[in-house]
Amino acid sequence: MSEEHRAIPRHWLRAAAFVLIATTFSIVLFAQGPPRMRKHRVSEAKTLALVPANKKPPATNRVRVTEKDGFRIIESNDIPNHTVGEFPNRGNPNAIAAQNWTIKIPLQPTPNDTLTPLHQSASHGPPNMPFGIGINGVLFEPGTAEFWMGDRNADWNYEALGGAVGLGLDSNHAHVQPGGIYHYHGLPTGLLEELDFIAGKDDQDRHSPLIGWAADGFPVYYAFGYKQADDPKSGIVKLSTSFRLKKGERPSGSAGPGGRYDGAFIQDYEFVVGTGDLDECNGRFCVTPDFPEGTYAYFLTDAWPVIPRGFRGTPVLLKERRHGIHPRRPR
């Protein structure tokens, strides 16, 4: 064969050069870590605009719960039974995709003297831990990765339910992370309806059913429990949180966004002992239908924090992230 016929066509050389440049750029980009955070300047809470949950999920719900070697093992595809919102949408660019969770949480958790917060103030890694997982296999993950001016060090973390930054939540107070992970930021209304509980009602004639488990292994319920924590014959009451908005205004200038404390940021709230029925983890020691001998239990409330923002026990890591983009499956 002649040298002319053995020569590589120029368009092949151009294509190879393009791939080489693109690959090199990608390596450099990922070596530098996660993309820069968005620089939000808004500092006022807004009425939360929810996307109607009128779409069927893209797959059939799959969840299996077993107990082995001191752990509760939850295998799930992260797809709910209930209807969901339209994803992607204007506030959320991600489509729901089935996952392959295998989550192991302690079967007999032990309470600690000090709490572990979901919110991590360190400048690296995910700023908030997932709280737990519903009985339908969908994660409770109330925190966001959105900060005022994109400044992790200043640590003014936007509250997903505050409405200041639109995140495309559907009427289950859920949306989708990169990688297709559907998760709850607030009351899982569709799940509650499946359990014959309507979110927002002030009266119920029975204790909340079990709706999930926290990452430390303790059970999770909706807000209705026994009037006296240790007496199932004492009647039913809607339990209230002990958090409230701080009074006054936030620091301004380089120290903060300014403006009054109105719920736009998680730092707008404070825990005040004795103002509600629940502790700083939105839980209490009590008896429940599932634990007649007593347990520590968490309760989702209508008012903030809705989903608890701290652990009474020692949480396990429900999932990990690389650069906040591609989630790894929990082990």
Predicted pLDDT at 254: 86
In the chain, the amino acid numbered 203 is D
pLDDT at 37: 63
Does 232 sit behind a cis peptide bond, omega within 30 degrees of 0 on the bond before it? no
pLDDT exceeds cutoff 60 at 129: yes
CA 65/CA 68 separation, integer angstroms = 10
pLDDT in tens, 60-88: 999 999 999 999 999 999 999 999 999 99
Which residues have a Cβ under 8 Å from the Cβ of 272 and sit 6 or more positions away? 242, 243, 244
- Residues in contact with 94: Cβ distance below 8 Å, sequence separation at least 6, in sequence order: 87, 88, 175, 176, 177, 178, 179, 180
At residue 125, the pLDDT reads: 66
pLDDT score of 322: 38
Across the chain, what does the average pLDDT equal?
88
pLDDT tens by residue, 305-325: 999 999 999 999 997 543 333
pLDDT of residue 201: 87
pLDDT of residue 71: 97
| Nearest alpha carbon to residue 69 among 108, 33, 96 | 108
Given this model, what pLDDT does residue 17 score?
47
* Per-residue pLDDT tens over the stretch 149-162: 998 888 999 999 99
Q: Which of 238, 271, 92, 223 is nearest to 168 (CA)?
A: 92
How far apart, in whole angstroms, are the C-alpha atoms of residue 139 and residue 152?
24
In tens, the pLDDT along 171-206 reads 999 999 999 999 999 999 999 999 999 888 888 999
Residue 29: its pLDDT value, please? 33
The pLDDT confidence band at residue 122, using thresholds 50, 70 and 90, is: low
Contacts of 47 by beta carbon, 8 Å cutoff, 6+ apart: 163
pLDDT of residue 228: 98
pLDDT at residue 12 greater than cutoff 70: no
Q: Percent of the chain beyond pLDDT 90?
A: 76
Query: Model pTM?
Result: 0.86
ω into 308 cis (within 30 of 0): no
What Rg do the C-alpha atoms of the chain give, in angstroms?
Answer: 23
Quote the pLDDT of residue 246.
98
Report the pLDDT value the prediction gives residue 231, as an integer from 0 to 100.
Answer: 98
Please compute the mean of the pLDDT values over residues 243-250 and round it to a whole number.
Answer: 98
Any long-range contacts for 198-207 (C-beta under 8 Å, 24+ apart)?
199/302, 200/302, 202/238, 203/238, 204/236, 204/238, 205/236, 206/236, 207/232, 207/236, 207/288, 207/289
Tokens of 107: 């079967």
- Helix H or strand E segment including 328: strand 326-328
pLDDT tens profile 21-38? 433 333 333 333 344 567
| Cα distances (Å, whole numbers) of residue 119 to 152, 155, 210 | 12, 10, 25
Higher pLDDT, 247 or 3: 247
